[in-house]
Chain A
Amino acid sequence: MAVNYGSKRTVVGAHYGLRDWLVQRVTAGLMAVFTLLVFVQVIFTKGPVGYDQWAGIFSAQWMKVLTFAVIVAVAWHAWVGMRDIWMDYVQPVWIRLLLQILTIIWLVGCAGWAVQVLWRL
């Protein structure tokens, strides 16, 4: 069998922190690109941006797909951030567990609502 213990241990997989470290950065990059994309479309609209122009941005199917990915990205990014905050400041396990559960419910709810808004268009 291959040597994968001690100094040759492969430090990837569950609970090494590397996944969440990477998730924060990838989701952040996606959200930054999305922000720029929306901002550019708003800035380069002739005249004031009314309902038609604004809703028009989100009516294209490719934009809906991208926005959906960004909604998922926000939820995961926020989860990692809030989990870190609870982990740093809340020592009693039962309170922390309760806060984590409420955080997930909050995020899943908001994500679901946002997706509903997006696909009503």
Chain B
Amino acid sequence: MSEAARQRPQFRNINALSDLPSYRLPPAGWVSILHRVSGALLFLSLPFLVWLFDKSVTSEIAYGQFTAAFSAGLWVFPGWLIKLVSLVLIWAYLHHLCAGVRHLYMDAAHAVSKEFGKSSAIATLAVSLLLTLVFGAKLFGAW
């Protein structure tokens, strides 16, 4: 295979700070790395999420503490910060879910062409960001 192909340049030791930012990542590349980032974010926030679940179902008083976290705040953090963090986690969950569904669809339908990769990636980003805006509006009291 290699005799006919030209000798391709090799890039080793890619520097995260000086080289990575100059790369143009295609939409599918963004969806992929954000899938990983959103997963890691959700992992790190698990105790917070379990705490939210705990307070929300344990009792009426606890439920009051749960809702208060978003208005009066929690420990040293003001309410709006808790809402902002929750919005980031909502985005993380929605992106991870949409990118995951994209994976499942590509697996089941063998839809692995470059064109479908691009179109499905753009759709994933659009749907997840749109839903994040909708939930964000609800969270910040628009309706």
Question: Residues of A at under 8 Å CB distance from B?
Answer: 25, 28-29, 32, 35, 50-51, 54-55, 58, 78, 81-82, 85, 103, 106-107, 109-110, 113-114, 117, 120-121
Given A28-B104, A51-B60, A51-B63, check contact A117 B43 (CB 8 Å).
no
Q: For chain B, what secondary structure do more than half of its interface residues adopt (helix, strand, loop), or is it mixed? A: helix
B23 to chain A, nearest CB (A): 17
Question: Residues of B at under 8 Å CB distance from A?
Answer: 36, 39-40, 42-43, 46-47, 50, 53-54, 56-60, 63, 97, 100-101, 103-104, 107
Given contacts A25-B104, A51-B59, 18 further A-B pairs with CB under 8 A are A25-B103, A28-B100, A28-B104, A29-B104, A32-B97, A32-B101, A50-B63, A51-B63, A78-B39, A81-B36, A82-B39, A85-B39, A103-B43, A113-B50, A114-B50, A114-B54, A117-B57, A121-B57
**Chain B residue at minimal CB-CB distance from A56:** B57
**Chain A residue at minimal CB-CB distance from B44:** A106
Q: Are B56 and A54 in contact (CB under 8 A)?
A: yes
Q: Are B43 and A25 in contact (CB under 8 A)?
A: no
Q: Which residues of A contact B39 (CB under 8 A)?
A: 78, 81-82, 85
* Complex alpha-carbon distance, A34 and B69, angstroms: 25
Q: Are A82 and B40 in contact (CB under 8 A)?
A: yes
